[in-house]
Structure 1
Amino acid sequence: MLAAERRDHLLGLLASEGKVVAKDVAVDLGISEDSVRRDLRELAAEGLCQRVYGGALPVSPAVVDYAARQAMAPDGKRKVAAVAAGLVRPDCALILDGGTTALAVAQAIPPDLACTVITHSPTVAAALLDHPRAELFLLGGRVFKHSAVTCGAAAVEAAQNVSADLCLLGVTGVHHEAGLTTGDADEAAMKRVLSARAAETYVLASSEKLGTASRFRVLPWGEVTGVITDAGHGHPVVAQVAALGVEVLSAARS
């Protein structure tokens, strides 16, 4: 099989099966695992897959810059945000992550709701300035412009000194095996700290993130309360996540 044909075969597997297992492909095609891994390295270098131990997973489209993500799946994010905002109860202390879905959550919080919002996102904080009953705490630190959030040592230290009832967390990849992932190591560390400071953590997962993975793991499934997604319960990844015992709140009909 020519290299171009192998490439098409691997991309086809990612699309149809949701993963590539290098040893299985090697057996099926009668080639060495080294050849498969080399092909996967080349695909990963082009941003077409995310390499993992033993093979590869579909790469998340949500690793593009903040401006590009604002135009990505706006209807799905709106649906997720509507359900997520409904979890914010009166007098609740909320840790709200950064990103475009979190921004949609901030915009969906009722203006007359009395609550405390803790965030490391300047854009999220700005969206809540006209909410007269929302008390705001903005965690400072180095600004990671890709996601319009603060991170680094100063931000982590600030986050370790807060507590909340609820954390609404954004990620770029949601996969039943790879867990919850994102594309930057410092951002992943900050997300872990934020989640650890809340009694409950729900993940904001619009459907384009389902079944995909990024380089850095944020949390394993056992450390989150649930997932909010616009995909229906019949979606294969939703079913796989639910089978792990994770609560799934579907916004498919919102």
Structure 2
Amino acid sequence: MLDYAAFPEQRQNKIRQLLRDNGRVVCTILAKEMQVSEHTIRRDLNELTQEGVCRRVHGGAVSMLVETGTFEQRMEQNQAEKIKIARACSLLIKSEGCIFIDSGSTNLEIAKNLPVQLSLTVVTNSPVIALELMKKPLCEVILVGGKLNREIGASIDTSAVQQVNRIHFDQCFIGGCALDPQMGVTIFDYEEAEFKKALIERSNQVIMGVTVDKLPGVARYTIASCEQISVLVMDGELNKGKANLFENSSLKIVLT
């Protein structure tokens, strides 16, 4: 077995690998497995945090995720998983309500899988999602306007915030870049974070469909704690172990 106490570079490389594989590490477990002190592990995690590899949390660290490309590029990633999650999300929608479908490739699949017999008002800030909703004959579609952000594929400026602040939503399907039981839901864009915070405040029920690559992990800006998310929808086959991370939180988990 490698003497991790004598080779700090190899020790930190091992921690990097564990963060990539699992998204999260725990100091006590690392210290035991590598036969070094917890102080040594905490020092390693502090150095990796300074490099931007992870973010320190109580008892360990969580992986600092990187942006995964433009909206068009994200639409091509994890398609089967997103469709499965979207179908489960669509079953949670209440008829005759007013809901918001946030921008994002998983939420686009929710719009595509919305039952045609469902009568409700749907608000969105994404033109692509709005076009999909127009195919549903019983949906009243409201498109939040403003300057379009090309990377996100939606309006998120102050004009968009002002518009959502005038509406009360029964349900909101929120998008996020990363999710962690301690750090909550995080994203990479500050302006988008402010928009999503306003959206969550106006919603009675907040639902998030999340793919396996987003958890556990953390991005730059926090938009919600786990306590602010009502329902978390995940692919049960891919998230058997990761669902246990949220067993102490108040949110409801739906495994597809």
Q: Is the 8 A contact 2:212 2:238 kept in 1?
A: no
Task: Point out the more displaced range, 137-146 or 5-14.
Answer: 5-14
Q: Distance in 2 between matches of 1:102 and 1:152?
A: 20
Q: Choose which of 109, 124, 127 in structure 2 pairs with 1:104.
A: 109
State whether structure 2 residue 255 is matched by structure 1 residue 246.
no
- Residue 8 of structure 1 pairs with residue 17 of structure 2: no
**What's the counterpart of residue 67 of structure 1?**
72
Please name the residue that 1:120 is paired with.
125
Q: Does 1:37 align with 2:46?
A: yes
Contact 2:170 2:205 in 1 (8 A): yes
Alignment RMSD (CA, Å): 2.7
Give the secondary-structure state (helix, strand or coil) at the position aligned to 1:243. coil
CA distance in 1, matches of 2:181, 2:111: 28
Amino acid at match of 1:250: L
Q: Which residue pairs with 2:86 in the alignment?
A: 81
TM-score normalised according to structure 2 size: 0.84
Secondary structure of 1:201's aligned partner: strand
Contact 1:144–1:151 (CA under 8 A) maintained in structure 2? yes
1:162 corresponds to which residue?
167
- Which stretch shifts more, 131-140 or 96-105? 131-140
Report what 2:194 is aligned to.
189
Shift of 1:77: 0.6
Q: Deviations over 1:40-75 (max 9, x none)?
A: 433x2xxxx343467642234664321221121111
Question: Aligned partners of 2:42 and 2:251: how far apart in 1?
Answer: 38
Query: How far is 1:232 from its partner?
Result: 4.9
The farther-off stretch of 101-110 and 175-184 is 175-184
Equivalent residue runs for 1:132-147 within 5 Å? 132-147=137-152
* Superposition deviation, residue 188 in structure 1: 1.4
Higher mean C-alpha displacement, 189-198 vs 153-162 = 189-198
- Aligned position for 1:174: 179
Structure 1: unaligned runs, 5 residues or longer: none
Distance 1:218 1:85 in 2: 23
Does 225-234 or 49-58 show the bigger shift?
49-58
Unmatched tracts of structure 2, length 5 or more = 1-5
Write the distance in 2 (CA, Å) between the matches of 1:229 and 1:146: 25
Change (3 A) 1:30 1:197: closer
1:21: Cα distance to partner? 6.3
* Alpha-carbon distance, 1:89 to partner: 2.4
Which residue does the alignment assign to 1:90? 95
Larger CA deviation: 183-192 vs 226-235: 226-235
1:20 Cα deviation after fit: 4.7
Report whether the alignment pairs 1:221 with 2:230.
no
- Length, aligned pairs only: 245
Stretch of structure 1 that moved more, 124-133 or 97-106: 124-133
* Aligned counterparts, 1:22-33, within 5 A: 27=37, 30=40, 33=43
Counterparts in 2 of 1:234 and 1:212: CA distance versus 1, 3 Å? closer
Note if contact 1:62-1:209 (Cα within 8 Å) is conserved in structure 2.
no
Residue 143 to residue 3, structure 1, CA distance change in 2 (3 Å): farther
Q: Which amino acid is 2:46 matched to?
A: R
Q: 1:185 to 1:234 in 2, by over 3 A?
A: closer
Q: Residue type matched to 2:223 in 1?
A: V
Aligned counterpart, 1:51: 55
2:3 aligned residue: none
Select 1:235's aligned residue among 231, 240, 243: 240
For normalisation by structure 1, the TM-score amounts to 0.85
